[in-house]
Structure 1
Amino acid sequence: AVSPINVSNATWWELERRLCLVFLGKSHSSSQVHEMVIHGLEDAGPDNPKLDALRRTATSSRDAIYAGDFEQLGRAMQENTEAQRALHPALISRDAQQIIDIAREYGALGWKVNGAGGEGGSLTLLTGPSMSEKRAMLRAIEETNPLYQNIPVYLSRYGLRVWACEGKG
C-alpha cells in the first residue's frame, strides 16, 4: 500500500534542503544485472534475509522521516545500498560507488542508488546541515566526471498527478 508521509513543514523543508539527486551521465540499464539477481534468488523464497534487509530499510526510512531524524534516515539509505550490493555487487555501479566515496568524504549522511541499480541512472544523497559542505561536495562530484550532474530536488506533497484536458485549445 502507498500512503503519504505527513510531517511538519520544518522537517519537510529541511529534508528537501539536504537531498541531492545526481544523474550518473547515462540512462539506466539494468536488465542483465537483474537476470543475475533473479538467478541468484530463484530458490530463495520470499523470506530470504537479503530481501528482508530491503524491506527493513523502507520501514526505518519512514520512521526516521516521521521523527525528523536525518542521521537515522542516512543510515537507512546506506543499509539499503548495502542490501542491494548483497543481492549482487553489480547493482552498485562503479560510477555510483565513485560518487558515494566522494559523498562520504564530504560528510554525507546517506546515499541510495535509485531504482533497481546497475549501470546509469541516478543516486540520491542526504547531506548534513552545512550547505557549504553540500555545495563543495556537488562541485567535487561534477569535477570528477563531466557526465555527473546534480539535478535540483523539489519534494511534492501530492506525488505525481496526471489529468486529461478535454476540448481544444
Structure 2
Amino acid sequence: MRARVPLRLGLAGGGTDLSPYCDEFGGAVLNVTIDRYAYAFIEPSAEPCVRFCAPDIGQEEVFAPDLEEIAASRLLLHAGVARRFTRQFCNGKVPTVCITSFVDAPPGSGLGSSSALVVALVEAFRNYLGVPLGPYDVAHVAFEVERLELGLAGGKQDQYAASFGGMNFIEFLGSDRVIVNPLRVPASVLNELELSLVICFSGVSRSSEQIIAEQQRRLHTPGTDAVAGMHQLKADALDMKDALLRGEILRLAKILNRSWEAKKRTASGISTSGIEALRDVAMNAGALGGKVSGAGGGGFLMFVVPPARRVAVIQALRDAGGTATGVHFTNDGAASWRT
C-alpha cells in the first residue's frame, strides 16, 4: 500500500488556526499545496513484528506487535497512527506490518511536512484496512493523533491542506468545526502567481513548538500584541482571497508584507537575523513581498517577485547561501493505491 500527500505553502492567516484563538474568534487561512510530498508505505511483515522505517532521517525500529511496545518508538508519528488504528479499527490487535515513510522536505521546513506525514500514514492505513474515511475524516484523525494524542504543539491547517490539496480558504470555528473552501481561481491567475513565487530554504530546520507555545500563552491574555496580530492575520487571509480571485498579484505582495509584520507581533523568535538578511537580499534583488511559511524561526521563506526578476532573485538568494527555487502548485490531496 502506498500513500502520497502534498506539502503546502501558507499564504495568509497562518496562526489563526491555533487554539484558543480559533475557538474564541474563528480562524481563517489561505494555503496552496505544492509539488513536494510526504510518502507512507505499508506492507505485510514477513515476521511476527512491527517495523517502522524512516530512511530520510536514518531511523529504523522493530517491535513486537503490542500497543505498549510500539508506544516506546522514537518515530512518534508512525507509532501514534499505528496505535490509533489498532485501537479504533483492529480491536486492539496490532497488525504485523512494515511502515516506511519519507518526505521531500526536512523536518521544521515550514511547509507542513510533519502533519503531511501524519496524513500520509493515516491515508495508508485507511486504504490498507479498508476503512471508510473521507478527506475531512482523514484530516481530523491526523489532527487528533498529532495534537491531542501525541501532544505536539500546532494548529489545524496543515492536516486539512494535505488531505484536500489545491488552493483552499479554510475556516476554523468553535466546537472543532472546520470548513474547507476550494477557491476557483482562474487558470491564468494561478499561472501568473506560480511564476511569481520563489521559495528559499533558510538552512535552518527549526522546532515550531516553542514559538507556538508562546503564541498560545500570549493569546490567553486579551488585548496583547499577539491577539491584535492574529486579528490582522485573519483579515489578511480574507483580503488575499479577494486579491487572488480578482487576479491582483501586486496587491497580494503587499498583503504578504503586512502579514509578515503582523506575524512578528504574535511571538518572539519568529524572525531571526538570518531570515531578515535573506529577506533583504530578495527585496534588494527585486522581490515585491515576502515572509516565512509556517511558524517562523527558520524553514522556508516565500517571495512574490515580478516574473522578469525571478531568475535574478533566485540567484541572489543562492549567492547569499539560501537554497532558492521556483514552485509548482498541485490540485490533488491525499492519494493511496495498492501495488
TM-score bracket relative to the smaller structure: 0.7 to 0.9
**1:162 pairs with 2:162:** no
Q: Which residue of 2 aligns with 1:28?
A: 206
**1:64 pairs with 2:243:** yes
1:91 counterpart SS class: coil
User: What stretches of structure 1 move > 3 A for 4+ residues in a row?
Assistant: none
Q: Which residue of 2 aligns with 1:75?
A: 254
More helix by share: 1
Q: Report the Cα offset of residue 159 of structure 1.
A: 4.2
Q: Report the Cα offset of residue 12 of structure 1.
A: 1.1
CA distance in 2, matches of 1:35, 1:64: 32
The aligned amino acid for 2:318 is E
Q: Which residue of 2 aligns with 1:138?
A: 314
**1:42 pairs with 2:220:** yes
CA distance in 1, matches of 2:291, 2:272: 12
CA distance in 2, matches of 1:23, 1:88: 21
Q: Which residue of 1 aligns with 2:184?
A: 6
> 1:56-103: CA deviations, max 9, x gaps?
111111111111111110011111111111112421222221121112
CA distance in 2, matches of 1:89, 1:72: 27
**1:149 pairs with 2:317:** no
Q: TM-score, normalised by structure 2?
A: 0.44
2:182 counterpart SS class: coil
Q: In structure 1, list runs of 5 or more residues that go unmatched.
A: none
Matching of residues 87-126 of structure 1 within 5 Å: 87-118=266-297, 120-126=298-304
CA distance in 2, matches of 1:159, 1:138: 27
1:92 counterpart SS class: coil
Q: In structure 2, list runs of 5 or more residues that go unmatched.
A: 1-178
Work out the percentage of aligned pairs sharing the same amino acid: 26
More strand by share: 2
1:108 counterpart SS class: coil
2:307 aligned to 129, 135, 143, which one? 129
| Bigger RCO (CA 8 Å, 6+ sep) | 1
Report if the CA contact (8 A) 1:85-1:91 is conserved: yes
Report if the CA contact (8 A) 1:19-1:126 is conserved: yes
